Amino acid sequence: MFTSSEIVLVLLLGFLALSCFTEFESNAQLLPLEEVKILETISKKLHNTHWNISQSSCQDGGAGFYKYFTDDILSNVTCNCSFPSNTCHVTIIEMKGLNLTGVIPEELGNLTHLEAIDLTRNYINGSIPASLSRAPFRALNLLGNRLSGSIPIDGFTMLTELVLEDNQFEGHLPQNIGKLTNLKRLLLSANNFTGTIPESYGNLKNLTDFRIDGSRLSGKIPNFIGNWTKLERLDMQGTSLEGPIPSIISSLKNLTELRISDLNGSSQFPNLKDMKDIKLVTLRNCSISGTIPNYFGELRKLKTLDLSFNKLNGEIPQKIKRVDTLDYMFLTNNSLTGEVPTWILNSKYSLDLSYNNFTGSPSVSCQQLTVNLVSSYSSSENLWCLKKDLPCSSKPKHHSMFINCGGRKMEFEGNEYEEDLSTVGQSHFISTSEKWGYSSTGVYMNKDKADYIARNTFSLNVDGPDFYQTARLSPLSLKYYGLCMLKGSYKVQLHFSEIMYTDDQTFSSLGKRIFDISIQGNLVWKDFNIMEEAGGVGKVVVKELDNVIVHGSTLEIHLYWAGKGTTAIPNRGVYGPLISAISVTPNFKVDTGGLSAGAIAGIVVASFVSVVLVLVILRKAGYLGGKDEDEDGSIIAVKQLSAKSKQGNREFVNEIGMISALQHPNLVRLFGCCIEGNQLLLIYEYMENNSLARALFGKHLQRLEQNVKFGICI
Ligand SMILES: *[C@@H]1O[C@H](CO)[C@@H](O)[C@H](O)[C@H]1NC(C)=O
Ligand SMILES: *[C@@H]1O[C@H](CO)[C@@H](O)[C@H](O)[C@H]1NC(C)=O
Ligand SMILES: *[C@@H]1O[C@H](CO)[C@@H](O)[C@H](O)[C@H]1NC(C)=O
Ligand SMILES: *[C@@H]1O[C@H](CO)[C@@H](O)[C@H](O)[C@H]1NC(C)=O
Ligand SMILES: *[C@@H]1O[C@H](CO)[C@@H](O)[C@H](O)[C@H]1NC(C)=O
Ligand SMILES: *[C@@H]1O[C@H](CO)[C@@H](O)[C@H](O)[C@H]1NC(C)=O
Ligand SMILES: *[C@@H]1O[C@H](CO)[C@@H](O)[C@H](O)[C@H]1NC(C)=O
Ligand SMILES: *[C@@H]1O[C@H](CO)[C@@H](O)[C@H](O)[C@H]1NC(C)=O
Ligand SMILES: *[C@@H]1O[C@H](CO)[C@@H](O)[C@H](O)[C@H]1NC(C)=O
Ligand SMILES: *[C@@H]1O[C@H](CO)[C@@H](O)[C@H](O)[C@H]1NC(C)=O
Ligand SMILES: *[C@@H]1O[C@H](CO)[C@@H](O)[C@H](O)[C@H]1NC(C)=O
Ligand SMILES: *[C@@H]1O[C@H](CO)[C@@H](O)[C@H](O)[C@H]1NC(C)=O
């Protein structure tokens, strides 16, 4: 017999069983309560507002955890619901670009089936808790946070992917990483690691992707990289490692991308012959000498070749012509010789051959260069833009320069900043007038369509003139030139403000932009960081160099990315030089000095064509300004301008403007001028020994001894 309460209980259980059963039948995939609690704790610790956590969050493909903003900003949790009784377990947590704060919760280690976590681009600090190793992790992706401290390794034996790029780790690389023999991807770029790469890493024979850009790792490039025969991508830009590039690199036959830059210690060209799948080769500023190997003609998948800033000589191998996949070839700043082949001049891809020692005379004009050939010829018959040091093709006349880099024409403090709006930058020389120009080289890593002009994307409140609202960018090398400048000493001011990061507690504030600045070929500011020097984002810093000498007629300002800083904040392809404005002013008084006699002779001769010079002995000084009648009898020079044409009038006005503005020991002084009828006359001081006059006026010189009647005098 049952008591009534027992019946009630049985009925109740029956009801529960039935309802559970129906639920299992229709939608039975549930997370264990325990796991729900852990997830709640994790969510709370990361200040995550994007999840609706319940036992049924995994249903409909984890809909309760899913939130999509963009491909880089999203939450996606993957559950495996194939466990007994349709129990679910969280296996992958992806929370990217959500600006999560706090520290990595220890409780992640309590998720017994968690294999991967991707916290790319958040604002998490602290260190990686050792307790994480309790979960069966295969992948830890922590790119773009503020993590520091030690890196726990023990227990992470299954790890195939460890991404710590763009964080604040420092000190030596953990020896123990060498035990993670399953590792395929090890991305350590843009931290502050020091010391050498531990020998134990030679055991990482499963590596396919290894990156240590922008770190302070030192020592020789280890030979054991030759053990990484599965490697597909190797990035070692902007480290403190030393060359030579070990010859064993030739055994990395599966490489598709190789980037090594800014290496001390000279290297011969490494043997890349067997890398048949290689798509990208960057061996920049590695002191590589010798010739460009012929085998490049056989690397038929090559798209980008950057061998800039080395010591390569010889000719460009004809065989490269066969590589029809090429998009970019940068051979900037080497000692390449020979004629530039016509097939190259007609090529469709971006080609930078600037700063070499070519010979011959290509039939191009400086305005219509399709290939960046600036300053690349050693012979003298070429166009000014192709010759070393960009000599002025006319007479140097500029004594200042103001550019609003990446922006429109504008005025500031009485100076007109010229517009600089060209959007090209992959391999270009731009010079609309022979006053200034720029030469830009490079293509952004992993983002070849990126812009070469920056705008104030985040609407930062920049405290300064409008020219800080825009900037010119370059992923590699950017040279601004002042052209046809007068010889002398100048003050150069470079205006910077970081406008591509944010000023808040989100991942976009975590970028570090670092580049080098050289002026007239001298490295002036190494590892320059705008934000650091300005004291934040949207703040202004003006770097000033007081005594920059222009010996020829060209002033060169070079901004160069030496592989340092972050390259993926706020997204991939944000790095390299950024400059807002340039101002260059003379340290000499334009009307008193800095001019060589030759330069003056040049200016004057050029404007003295078709002129008859008359030397007159004036007995009466009164003609020259009403002085005492008794004094004088001085000799003056009178220039008679051709009166027939309009040109005469123009010349007359120019002459007065120029000569009266100039005062120089070597220059004749203008005493005055006269206009009578259709005659235009200029009166100069006469120089006794006549040498300058001869240089200037040649056979037009005549000597007359007669009075001249003057009309209106100034
Ligand atoms: C969580 O629930 C709220 C209210 O029901 C809903 O608006 C939101 O879209 C849900 N979020 C997710 C990620 O499912
Ligand atoms: C969530 O991530 C998993 C595993 O990476 C993937 O298969 C799935 O397509 C993603 N879901 C969405 C909606 O993107
Ligand atoms: C889900 O878990 C089951 C049981 O452990 C396993 O057999 C299966 O391979 C897992 N599925 C996935 C996609 O990981
Ligand atoms: C996580 O696991 C540790 C060790 O197993 C345990 O002491 C702790 O209570 C667990 N935390 C939670 C929130 O379950
Ligand atoms: C994390 O950063 C916050 C400020 O954003 C700071 O208050 C906190 O002390 C930091 N925590 C750790 C562990 O560094
Ligand atoms: C490479 O990884 C595979 C499986 O991930 C593993 O079996 C193998 O031992 C690893 N190779 C080495 C050389 O450690
Ligand atoms: C790297 O560490 C050094 C000291 O070891 C420090 O001076 C420097 O500021 C650090 N750099 C960064 C980018 O954190
Ligand atoms: C490279 O691999 C060889 C052969 O497996 C091994 O003997 C050697 O120790 C490895 N080198 C390093 C530096 O680990
Ligand atoms: C190189 O790649 C090929 C094709 O993908 C593959 O078959 C081969 O095993 C790889 N070699 C190594 C050493 O991993
Ligand atoms: C490279 O060598 C030069 C000169 O010896 C030295 O000044 C510079 O610091 C070195 N650079 C690195 C990255 O070691
Ligand atoms: C290339 O030209 C530069 C500058 O004119 C010169 O110093 C260098 O010796 C030349 N190199 C070769 C290989 O001709
Ligand atoms: C995180 O901050 C960035 C700016 O740094 C913003 O673009 C992004 O939308 C934010 N993410 C979310 C989920 O709000």
The ligand that comes nearest to the alpha carbon of residue 97 is 12
CB 327 within 8 A of CB 306: no
SS3 assignment, position 249: helix
Task: Please give the distance, rounded to the nearest whole angstrom, from the Cα atom of residue 101 to the centre of ligand 4.
Answer: 22
**pLDDT tens column, 364-380:** 788 777 889 999 998 77
**pLDDT tens column, 283-333:** 999 999 999 999 999 999 999 999 999 999 999 999 998 898 999 999 999
**pLDDT tens column, 132-143:** 999 999 999 999
CB 396 within 8 A of CB 553: yes
The answer to whether the CB of 206 is under 6 A from ligand 9 is no
CB 126 within 8 A of CB 147: yes
Q: Output the pLDDT for position 83.
A: 94
Q: Output the pLDDT for position 380.
A: 73
| Residues 297-312: b if buried by 16+ CB within 10 A, e if exposed | eebeebbbbbbbbbeb
Higher pLDDT, 630 or 642: 642
The rounded distance, in Å, linking the Cα atoms of 212 and 208 is: 14
| Position in ligand 12 atom list of the atom nearest CA 570 | 5
* Best probe residue, ligand 5, of 125, 127, 128, 505 (max atoms within 8 Å of C-beta): 125
How confident is residue 343, by pLDDT bands cut at 50, 70 and 90?
confident
As a whole number, the mean pLDDT across the chain is: 84
Ramachandran region, residue 696 (left: φ > 0; alpha: ψ -120 to 50; beta: rest)? alpha
Residues in contact with ligand 2 by the CB-under-6-Å rule are 66, 76, 78, 92
What is the CATH T-level fold of the domain 401-586, as seen in this structure?
Jelly Rolls (2.60.120)
Q: Which amino acid is at 283?
A: L
Give the residue whose CA is nearest to atom 5 of ligand 9: 254
The rounded distance, in Å, linking the Cα atoms of 141 and 136 is: 14
Instruction: Please name the residue that has the structure tokens 């020829």.
Output: 552
Give the residue whose CA is nearest to atom 2 of ligand 5: 125
Q: Output the pLDDT for position 14.
A: 40
Percent of the chain with pLDDT over 90: 69
| Position in ligand 12 atom list of the atom nearest CA 50 | 13
Give the residue whose CA is nearest to atom 11 of ligand 2: 76
Instruction: Please name the residue that has the structure tokens 């770029």.
Output: 189
Task: Please give the distance, rounded to the nearest whole angstrom, from the Cα atom of residue 161 to the centre of ligand 6.
Answer: 13
| Position in ligand 7 atom list of the atom nearest CA 192 | 1
The ligand that comes nearest to the alpha carbon of residue 34 is 4
SS3 assignment, position 36: helix
Task: Please give the distance, rounded to the nearest whole angstrom, from the Cα atom of residue 357 to the centre of ligand 11.
Answer: 6
Give the residue whose CA is nearest to atom 7 of ligand 1: 52
Please count the other Cβ atoms lying within 10 Å of the Cβ belonging to residue 58: 24
| Residues 153-192: b if buried by 16+ CB within 10 A, e if exposed | bebbeebbbbbbbbbbbeeebbeebbbbeebbbbbbbbbe
Give the residue whose CA is nearest to atom 4 of ligand 1: 52
Task: Please give the distance, rounded to the nearest whole angstrom, from the Cα atom of residue 89 to the centre of ligand 3.
Answer: 10
| Position in ligand 10 atom list of the atom nearest CA 262 | 13
| Position in ligand 1 atom list of the atom nearest CA 50 | 13
The rounded distance, in Å, linking the Cα atoms of 230 and 242 is: 24
The answer to whether the CB of 201 is under 6 A from ligand 8 is no
The ligand that comes nearest to the alpha carbon of residue 179 is 6
| Position in ligand 7 atom list of the atom nearest CA 216 | 1
DSSP for 568-586, written as a single string: BSSSTTB-S-EE-EEEEEE
Domain 607-709 has CATH 3.40.50.300: no
The rounded distance, in Å, linking the Cα atoms of 90 and 113 is: 6
| Position in ligand 5 atom list of the atom nearest CA 123 | 5
Give the residue whose CA is nearest to atom 14 of ligand 9: 230
Percent of the chain with pLDDT over 70: 79
Q: Is the pLDDT of residue 148 over 90?
A: yes
**pLDDT tens column, 344-369:** 888 888 999 999 999 987 777 887 77
How confident is residue 25, by pLDDT bands cut at 50, 70 and 90?
very low
Task: Please give the distance, rounded to the nearest whole angstrom, from the Cα atom of residue 99 to the centre of ligand 4.
Answer: 26
**pLDDT tens column, 475-515:** 999 999 999 999 999 999 999 999 999 999 999 999 999 99
Q: Is the pLDDT of residue 26 over 50?
A: no
Q: Output the pLDDT for position 693.
A: 41
Side-chain half-sphere CA neighbours of 224 within 13 A: 13
| Position in ligand 2 atom list of the atom nearest CA 92 | 4
| Position in ligand 8 atom list of the atom nearest CA 201 | 14
**pLDDT tens column, 225-271:** 999 999 999 999 999 999 999 999 999 999 999 999 999 888 899 99
Q: Output the pLDDT for position 532.
A: 97
Task: Please give the distance, rounded to the nearest whole angstrom, from the Cα atom of residue 264 to the centre of ligand 10.
Answer: 6
Q: Output the pLDDT for position 27.
A: 55
**pLDDT tens column, 423-466:** 988 999 998 788 999 999 999 998 877 889 999 988 889 989 99
Q: Output the pLDDT for position 365.
A: 81
Q: Output the pLDDT for position 616.
A: 34
| Strand ranges (E), 601-711 | 611-617, 635-641, 670-676, 679-685, 701-703
**pLDDT tens column, 69-99:** 999 999 999 999 999 988 999 999 999 999 9
Residues in contact with ligand 1 by the CB-under-6-Å rule are 50, 52, 63-64, 66-67
Torsion of CA 177, 179, 185, 191, to 10 degrees: 0
The ligand that comes nearest to the alpha carbon of residue 240 is 10
Q: Output the pLDDT for position 642.
A: 46
What are the distances in angstroms from CA 258 to CA 151, 237, 321? 27, 10, 21
**pLDDT tens column, 306-317:** 999 999 999 999
The ligand that comes nearest to the alpha carbon of residue 200 is 8
Q: Output the pLDDT for position 700.
A: 37
**pLDDT tens column, 636-667:** 545 555 443 444 455 554 555 444 444 444 44
Q: Output the pLDDT for position 415.
A: 97
* Best probe residue, ligand 2, of 78, 94, 161 (max atoms within 8 Å of C-beta): 78
The ligand that comes nearest to the alpha carbon of residue 83 is 3
The answer to whether the CB of 224 is under 6 A from ligand 8 is yes
Task: Please give the distance, rounded to the nearest whole angstrom, from the Cα atom of residue 136 to the centre of ligand 2.
Answer: 19
436-441/477-482 β-pairing: antiparallel
| Position in ligand 9 atom list of the atom nearest CA 277 | 2
Task: Please give the distance, rounded to the nearest whole angstrom, from the Cα atom of residue 232 to the centre of ligand 1.
Answer: 41
| Position in ligand 2 atom list of the atom nearest CA 66 | 13
Sign, Cα dihedral of 273, 274, 276, 279: negative
The ligand that comes nearest to the alpha carbon of residue 506 is 12
| Position in ligand 2 atom list of the atom nearest CA 76 | 1
Q: Output the pLDDT for position 634.
A: 46
Instruction: Please name the residue that has the structure tokens 């999840």.
Output: 51
Q: Which of 7-16, 204-213, 557-566, 567-576 bottoms out in mean pLDDT, i.e. has the lowest?
A: 7-16
Task: Please give the distance, rounded to the nearest whole angstrom, from the Cα atom of residue 90 to the centre of ligand 4.
Answer: 16
The answer to whether the CB of 251 is under 6 A from ligand 8 is no
Please name the residues in contact with 563: beta carbons below 8 A apart, sequence gap of 6 or more.
213, 214, 237, 238, 239, 261, 262
Q: Is the pLDDT of residue 160 over 50?
A: yes
| Helix 597-607, helix 646-661: angle, nearest 10 | 160
**pLDDT tens column, 590-615:** 864 444 443 443 333 333 333 333 33
The rounded distance, in Å, linking the Cα atoms of 281 and 302 is: 8
The rounded distance, in Å, linking the Cα atoms of 649 and 680 is: 8
Q: Output the pLDDT for position 102.
A: 96
Q: Is the pLDDT of residue 18 over 50?
A: no
The answer to whether the CB of 202 is under 6 A from ligand 8 is yes
pLDDT, average across residues 276-280: 97
The answer to whether the CB of 126 is under 6 A from ligand 5 is yes
| Position in ligand 5 atom list of the atom nearest CA 102 | 1
The ligand that comes nearest to the alpha carbon of residue 63 is 1
The answer to whether the CB of 103 is under 6 A from ligand 5 is yes
Q: Let me know the angle formed at the C-alpha of 671 by 668 and 672, rounded to the nearest 5 degrees.
A: 130
Task: Please give the distance, rounded to the nearest whole angstrom, from the Cα atom of residue 62 to the centre of ligand 2.
Answer: 9
Classify 243-253+262-388 by CATH class. alpha beta
Task: Please give the distance, rounded to the nearest whole angstrom, from the Cα atom of residue 204 to the centre of ligand 8.
Answer: 9
Q: Output the pLDDT for position 349.
A: 86
Please name the residues in contact with 624: beta carbons below 8 A apart, sequence gap of 6 or more.
618, 634, 636, 671, 672, 683
Please provide the size of the chain in residues.
Answer: 714
